[in-house]
Amino acid sequence: MQTVDTLIIGGGAAGLQAALVMVRARRSVLIVDSATPRNRFAHEIHGVIALEGTPPLEFQERGKEQLRSYGAQIVNATVDAVTDNDRTLTATLSNGETVAARSIIVASGVDDEHPAIPGLQENWGNTALHCPYCHGYEVADKKLGVLYIGEFSFHHAAVLRQWSKDITFFTNGMEFTDEQRADLTRRGIALIDGPVTAFQDGKVLLESDEHAVDALFYMPIPRPHDEFLADLNLKRHSPPPAMGGSLIEADLTGATSHPRVWAVGNVVNPGAQVAMAMGQANAAAITVNGFLVEDDWI
């Protein structure tokens, strides 16, 4: 069983950025990644200067190639479990291998759980979207729909008004107060009542009606990939309902309740965009190296 300075779990934007800092600090790094980043359904990355329009999988592969040039190891697998062994942690991988690490950076991301409406998951990243800051510019001034998922949907619709004046709010069969309806109306947002039965061919289908849109926005529920950390009993916290269930508690540097474990990116902040996740990962990696500098001499 090999021992590395840092095991990085997840090879999306956060994991790759953390790895870059660590290998340039001349640390031994192993990245475990399943090559299924959250944004793989999108055509392009936006909101990252100098990377505008880069396809997500191209971004990931380019990053891995650069890391390999520094000597980083990359394994195509997932982590099944992590156990504590005092001055190291042992990770059991899905390929049967075990790895000992002096530190771990968790960047395993989330899965987006979609409403049980046919067509949403199939069109995800194309005409079914969630982030105005990631996709709003590409659908500016077009006919946009917002699907009610929860209280956040009202803010979602209000924000999208920045990109288009033609917005339709689908209540999905839920009852709203007069104040909620009035607020949407004063913003020029149309309301359509009734349960949504499907989204197909650019049309939002109701039981007896259909409405064409260029894109339908809604917030899926993010489910963090962190079950493999169960044995460490890390502290957790409960975010707003729109952010899913409990999340690992981490500070601004990604430090968790375990002195050798850091967590960054969407696994601790499902709302973090690519640039935000990379920034936190960069800060975490610098902190991790500082920890190892002291740990080297114990």
pLDDT tens for residues 40-71? 999 999 999 999 999 999 999 999 999 999 99
Amino acid 242: pLDDT: 64
Indicate the pLDDT class of residue 239, thresholds 50, 70 and 90: confident
Q: For position 228, what pLDDT does the model report? A: 98
Residue 144 phi, psi (nearest 5): -115, 145
Task: Quickly state the pLDDT bin for 244 (edges 50, 70, 90).
Answer: low
For the cut 80, the answer to whether the pLDDT of residue 154 exceeds it is yes
Which residue matches tokens 């759980």?
A: 113
Could you write out the three-class secondary structure of the chain? CEEEEEEEECCCHHHHHHHHHHHHCCCCEEEEECCCCHHHHCCCCCCCCCCCCCCHHHHHHHHHHHHHHCCCEEEECCEEEEEEECCEEEEEECCCCEEEEEEEEECCCEEEECCCCCCCCCCECCCEECCHHHHCHHHCCCCEEEECCCCHHHHHHHHHCCCCCCEEEECCCCCCCHHHHHHHHHCCCEEECCCEEEEECCEEEECCCEEECCEEECCCEEEECCHHHHHHCCCEECCCHHHCCCEECCCCCCECCCCCEEECHHHCCCCCCHHHHHHHHHHHHHHHHHHHHHHCCC
Residues 7-19: what's their mean pLDDT? 99
Residues of the chain with CATH 3.50.50.60: 2-112+220-295, 115-217
Domain 115-217 -> CATH class: alpha beta
Give CATH superfamily name and number for 2-112+220-295.
Answer: FAD/NAD(P)-binding domain (3.50.50.60)
**Closest alpha carbon to 278 in 12, 11, 14:** 14
Mean pLDDT over 269-280 rounds to 96
Report the candidate in 253, 258, 241, 260 with the shortest Cα–Cα distance to residue 280: 253
Is the pLDDT score of 223 beyond 90? yes
pLDDT at 121: 96
pLDDT at 290 over 80: yes
CA angle, corner 32, sides to 31 and 37, nearest 5? 100
Closest CA to 88 of 100, 99, 80, 79: 100
Question: Whose CA is closest to 260, among 1, 3, 6, 2?
Answer: 6
Residue 245 has pLDDT above 80, yes or no: no
pTM score of the predicted model: 0.95
User: What are the tens digits of pLDDT across the range 70-113?
Assistant: 999 999 999 999 999 989 999 999 999 999 999 999 999 999 99
